[in-house]
A and B are shown apart, each in its own frame.
Chain A
Amino acid sequence: MQRRVTFDSRLLPYLLLAPQVAVTLVFFIWPAANAIWQSVHLQDAFGIRSEFVWFENFTHVLGDPNYLDTLKTTVIFSVAVTVLAMGVALLLAVLADSKIKGASAYKTLLIWPYALAPAVAAVLWMFIFNPDIGSFGRALRALGFDWDYRLNGGQALLMVILAASWKQVSYNFIFFLAGLQAIPRSVMEAASIDGAGPVRRFWTITFPLLSPTTFFLLVVDMVYAFFETFGTIHALTQGGPGKATETLIFRVYQDGVVNNDLGGSSAQSVILMVIVIALTAVQFRFVERKVHYS
């Protein structure tokens, strides 16, 4: 028997759906449609006239060596953030899952960073690493290390990677911990009786059993690194020095809002949209099916 909710009025269900639909329309469908429309138009500098130019914006964007540099930076940034955030989170989760004193306080503390707004977190990192006022930054300089992320592109990239990863560690940690706790203790005990030491137990039992969680987080973290790190980068480096920390999403903002190239910026948005749709499709396809055991 299927339970069915029935409404007296035929209008009521639509009314109840309306807020969600409205939000989606206003904040997602409409801007997305706008972006697509603008991506095939060229606007004059004053925004008065626009001209339909087919895919000129796209060929222009994709043919721009600067754009390809940004793409490279984004890939480095995203892979680094994903690997770092997942690696650290997994390590911390494994430690938190073993019997230690004060485990619950430890878990709570690890979850805190997730509650911080990206911009706030970035300011926090600035206060640590700023070469003039940051405690750690000044210590590095005092030790004779030439630390200044405002001038050195590599250092800047390293810093935004650290800051962005740090925020995502909390999220990954929660999922990894839940995944670890779902593994029956007796399975691990059986493995230790079978002769597996802690390292081998981890790689042959724990890690394979965590693979659904790992894959899910891989996709989520990639999406995060691609699209949700704007605030962090904007607050820390504004994409600089030069274009060392400019990622695709930051460039959309830079070209569209700062440089007023709405057509090019929209074309970039559409490219990003395709990427996120692809990532989501991969997630739905594989998380739901392949990487499952029970």
Chain B
Amino acid sequence: MATVEIRNVRKSYGPVEAIKGIDIAIQDGEFLVLLGPSGCGKSTLLRMVAGLEGITGGEIAIGGRVVNHLDPKDRDIAMVFQNYALYPHMTVFDNMAYGLKIRGIPKAEIRARVDKAANILELGRFLDRRPSQLSGGQRQRVAMGRAIVREPAAFLFDEPLSNLDAKLRTQMRVEIKRLQDRLGITSLYVTHDQVEAMTLADRILVMNHGVAEQIGTPLEVYQRPASLFVAGFIGSPPMNVLDGRIDDRGEAVLLPGGQRLPLPRPRATDAGRPVKLGIRPEHMAVAADGFSIEIELVEALGADTVVYGRLPDGETLLVRMAGIPTVRERDRLTVAPQDGALHLFDAVTGRRME
């Protein structure tokens, strides 16, 4: 168990800067999720922690020890790969025991550790099988087992669930969560799936174009997205974003459609400033006064319903309502944001305005 500190870490491939200075200190036993779209640099960052990629600038420390120039084997980490990366010519037992044998751990202890991990992961029956004789979910478990038996300072997960079907993914997600709670080992987990991020993370680091857009607990990231990017990436369906302008007295936001949404507190200094206004679909409700929309599409999800409405100026507005649909396509509806549901972002930089 250990802390993992990432200090102003950069990565360049020739003139291209893939990671532009990431700073985060991961606490002992913390579960950090690196979340972002493909190509944002999250896997590269994880591989730099693992020692599989060189570090162009900055420092990575595991357990207080700078590991920049250490080989992967000397970093005391274990990694779970997207394609599992099991050794195809070894049995499940040997797959898990491989790292322990190399480290010269006595045979009896290897046996004990592998048996224990196999028990936790319900792999006991498969120890003599080869990976090719296992299902996707079982292979995933073996990959986890191989990480667990090492009892490392930190676990690194590189999109471990993305090769599984939806049902298995949910199941394994719960198992990973349980396992981490039980073992309490510092974990870095890369994913592009916001549900995995929200459910697993103690904290989420949202990455975009090699930059940390926001670092925070899942609820912080959801409730107070630091940028338009985070606002759009977290939440399903995504947040509505409308162009607007703060009125001359700094008391409300004016929208092109003529609506006037009062601000929770006056912002005299921002009077007249153009802004982006964010409202989550689930924070809209039918109201007497507000946005008048024509319904284009109704998605009934069972527990709730997503309504795609068109504003008079042509913008699309999503509204999420509880329960089964009560409206139909081509109906007209008036909706308004609930109190405190407005997110303001700078129209130019996209950063959140507090």
Contact = CB atoms under 8 A, between A and B. Distances in A.
A294 B132 contact: yes
B292 to A, nearest CB: 54
Contact of A186 (B78, B85, B130): B85
Contacts of B146: 190, 194
B126 interface: no
Given A186-B85, A193-B50, A193-B99, 12 more contacts: A189-B72, A189-B79, A189-B81, A190-B85, A190-B86, A193-B78, A194-B73, A194-B98, A194-B99, A205-B87, A293-B89, A293-B130
A31 interface: no
Among B77, B89, B146, B150, residue most surrounded by chain A Cβ atoms (within 10 Å): B89
Nearest to B130: A293
- Best-buried of B72, B78, B82 by chain A (most CB within 10 Å): B72
A187 B98 CA distance: 12
Interface in A207-225: 208-209, 211
A200 B85 contact: no
Q: How many B residues touch the partner, as a band?
A: 20 to 34
Contact of B83 (A184, A195, A197, A204): A184
Given A190-B79, A190-B81, A200-B102, A195 B73 contact: yes
A193 B73 contact: yes
Contact of B87 (A191, A192, A195, A294): A191
Nearest to B102: A195
A196 interface: yes
A196 B102 contact: yes
Nearest to A185: B85
Nearest to A187: B85
Given A191-B87, A196-B102, A200-B102, A186 B73 contact: no
A274 to B, nearest CB: 34
A interface, by DSSP: helix, strand, loop or mixed? helix
B88 A293 contact: yes
B322 interface: no
Contacts of A196: 73, 98, 102
A191 B50 CA distance: 12
B103 interface: yes
Contacts of A192: 51-52, 71-73
27 contacts: A184-B83, A184-B85, A187-B85, A187-B86, A187-B87, A189-B72, A189-B81, A189-B85, A190-B79, A190-B85, A190-B146, A191-B87, A191-B98, A192-B72, A192-B73, A193-B51, A193-B77, A193-B79, A194-B73, A195-B99, A196-B73, A196-B98, A200-B102, A205-B87, A209-B88, A293-B88, A294-B132
Contacts of A211: 89
